[in-house]
Amino acid sequence: MRRSRTLINVLWTAARLLLSLVVAASLAALLMTATVLVAGMGAPRVVVTPDVEGMKLEKARQVIADAGLSLKVTGYVYSNRVEEGSIVRTRPYPGKRVKTGRTVEALVSRGPREIAVPVLIGLKRDDAEQRIKAAHLRVGTVSWRSSRARVGRVIEQTPRPGKVVARDQAVDIIISGGPRFGTWQDPAGQVYLFRRIRVTVPEPEPVQRVHITTTYRGQTTTIYDRIHQPGDEVVVDMYGRPGTRVRVFIRDRLVFEKRL
């Protein structure tokens, strides 16, 4: 009986020891697995820097983020080859192998610094103004003039098409008012023509006299006579009968002459 009890105790002790060893081994294995998983989740991966040059900024941000990286704009530069608001270049350069979490620095385009003036002749006024703004230029003076061209179409522009100018340069346009623009007929049937004269006073004299006259059927009338400085712009609205001759003098020298 004693031998039986002794044997049972030995077996029970061995079983308990074996169970303890199994549990300890299982816990150790579980702990090791969890440690490996946690380490694997936090460890940076090696990725290739995406090529986002030429992309719009927001799209580039998404592409960079999808690669496990972040995008930081470090500056804006003028560029003739990259559209405004798009990425000009990045650092690290595209294709370089880096670890996830790295910041990619980027320069963004402001668009070109100098602009070739677009062709506006023949466009409607609204279309011409939209084209000017789309070219990073500014709408300048808009005026109307009598012309045989279709009413509302651009017939002249300054600067001329194709001229390279600074960004935000003003572009002046003249719109056709049709062949009878600026014409009025009184109750007696007499026709009058309304016109605008625009003169820029030249260099080099510090002060200069601008003198404008009209002549009709031998009678001459002074419609403007003032002193100006170089660079001043003189704008005079006038009217006259068809055939009236308009003359502009600067320092008593004839600089412009036209018959209405």
CATH number, residue 72:
3.30.10.20
Are 123 and 144 in the same domain?
yes
Are 145 and 213 in the same domain?
no
Q: Look at residues 181, 203, 235 and tell me which one is the last residue of a structural domain.
A: 181
**Above 70 in pLDDT, residue 20?**
no
Average pLDDT, the chain: 86
**Above 90 in pLDDT, residue 28?**
no
Q: Look at residues 58, 80, 111 and tell me which one is the last residue of a structural domain.
A: 111
Which of the two residues, 20 and 154, has the higher pLDDT score?
Answer: 154
Q: Are 159 and 137 in contact (CB under 8 A)?
A: no
Q: Look at residues 158, 181, 204 and tell me which one is the last residue of a structural domain.
A: 181
The structure's pTM equals 0.52
Strands (E), 117-207: 138-145, 154-158, 164-166, 170-176, 183-185, 191-200
Segment 175-190, tens digit of pLDDT: 998 888 888 888 888 8
Length of the chain: 260
Are 39 and 50 in the same domain?
no
Mean pLDDT computed over 8-21? 55
pLDDT at 31: 52
Beginning with the edge strand found earlier in the chain, give each strand of the sheet holding 170-176 in spatial order: 138-145, 170-176, 154-158
Q: Tell me how far apart the alpha carbons of residues 246 and 201 are, in angstroms, rounded to a whole number.
A: 18
- The runs of H, that is alpha helices, within 72-228 are 125-134
Are 77 and 55 in the same domain?
yes
* CA atoms in the 13 A half-sphere facing the CB of 157: 25
Are 207 and 249 in the same domain?
yes
**% the chain with pLDDT above 70:** 83
**Above 60 in pLDDT, residue 1?**
no
Are 191 and 249 in the same domain?
yes
How many structural domains is the chain composed of?
4
Mean pLDDT computed over 40-53? 82
Q: Are 196 and 180 in contact (CB under 8 A)?
A: no
pLDDT at 44: 82
**Above 90 in pLDDT, residue 210?**
yes
Domain extent at residue 70: 46-111
Are 19 and 65 in the same domain?
no
Are 189 and 260 in the same domain?
yes
Task: Please report, for the domain that includes residue 212, its CATH number.
Answer: 2.60.40
- Cβ neighbour number for residue 111 with a 10 Å cutoff: 18
pLDDT at 256: 94
Q: Are 237 and 196 in contact (CB under 8 A)?
A: yes
pLDDT at 37: 44
